[in-house]
Amino acid sequence: MTSSLSYNEYLKVPELTKLQATLSEPTSHDELLFIVIHQTYELWFKQILHEIDASIGWLKGNRTFRANHSLKTVASIGKVVVSQIHILETMAQIGFLEFRDKLNPASGFQSTQFREIEFVSGAKDEPMMNHFKADKFAYERLSKRFAAPSLADEFWNLLGRSNFTVETEAERVAAIVEILRQPEKHADFFIMQDLLIEHDENIALWRYNHVLMVERMLGMKRGTGGSEGAGYLRTTLSKKFYPELWEARTHL
């Protein structure tokens, strides 16, 4: 008996295409693009979290090949996420302003899944959680991420179980230098640290390109959520998930 399942049913295409509810009246031409891009971001963020969670499980089980496989997916998605920003730049500036005020007080700052990516990657920020206390969905998810071991934690735990000394920051840097000096001897770890730094770099590139996109579209206007807009975004550019990996390049 053949299945009657169709492509549209499996992917819930009818439901999916009804999720783009515009707010502007009459509807601004560019608002649909704005919504589609940001909904697509959230789907990619969901997949990144799925792969990172899987990687953490593989690391706990000393399964470096499987961890690297998922981390490669994370790095590949990261490149797509960065490139999507430039699609937003195709909006006409005046077209964006036609609906931007309707977004108040919502803001990209409130993306729960992006904050989850930061937390689970290794950049946990307890004060950040205060901004989400009024949002039960967000606060519960971020609280779980804050309490659980991060990808960075499990990476260093794995190295510790593999006869590297990683108790202090200096020891971690030295461990990475050793891996970089002898990549053939530590092949899986060499690939892993490279994928981790690529993930870090992709998020940094996303932040930087996001700043430029905001300045290109809005100049130095304040953000819809009340932040300083591009000014605030520039303060995030120095964030790193794995500072020891970057520092090790200096000591190699």
Burial class of residue 91, CB neighbours in 10 A (0-12, 13-18, 19+): buried
Q: Rounded to two decimals, what is the model's pTM? A: 0.90
Cα 198 from Cα 78, distance rounded (Å): 9
Q: How confident is the model at residue 94 (pLDDT cuts 50, 70, 90)?
A: confident
- 5-9, 164-168, 199-203, 236-240: which has the minimum mean pLDDT? 236-240
C-alpha–C-alpha distance, residues 150 and 62, integer Å? 15
Q: Which of 111-115, 127-131, 163-167, 246-250 has the lowest mean pLDDT?
A: 127-131
Does position 93 have pLDDT exceeding 80, yes or no? yes
Q: What is the pLDDT at residue 2?
A: 60
Least confident residue range of 40-44, 110-114, 139-143: 110-114
Q: Answer yes or no: is pLDDT of 80 > 90.
A: yes
pLDDT computed for residue 219 by the predictor: 79
Secondary structure of 164-220 in the HEC alphabet? Answer: CCCCCHHHHHHHHHHHHHCCCCCHHHHHHHHHHHHHHHHHHHHHHHHHHHHHHHHCC
Answer yes or no: is pLDDT of 224 > 60: no
> With 80 as the cut, is the pLDDT of residue 222 above it?
no
Q: What is the model's pLDDT at position 225?
A: 53
All structural domains of the chain with their residue ranges: 28-100+107-251
On the question of pLDDT at 48 being above 70, the answer is yes
d(Cα 32, Cα 20) in Å, to the nearest integer?
7
Whether domain 28-100+107-251 has CATH 1.20.58.480: the reply is: yes
**166, two tokens:** 């990683």
Q: Is the pLDDT of residue 1 over 80?
A: no
247 closest CA partner among 183, 161, 177? 177
Beta-carbon neighbour count of residue 240 at 10 Å?
Answer: 17
**Residue 198: pLDDT above 60?**
yes
Distance CA 198, CA 196 (A): 5
Q: How confident is the model at residue 232 (pLDDT cuts 50, 70, 90)?
A: low
Which DSSP state fits 17? T
Q: How far apart are CA 26 and CA 51, in angstroms?
A: 40
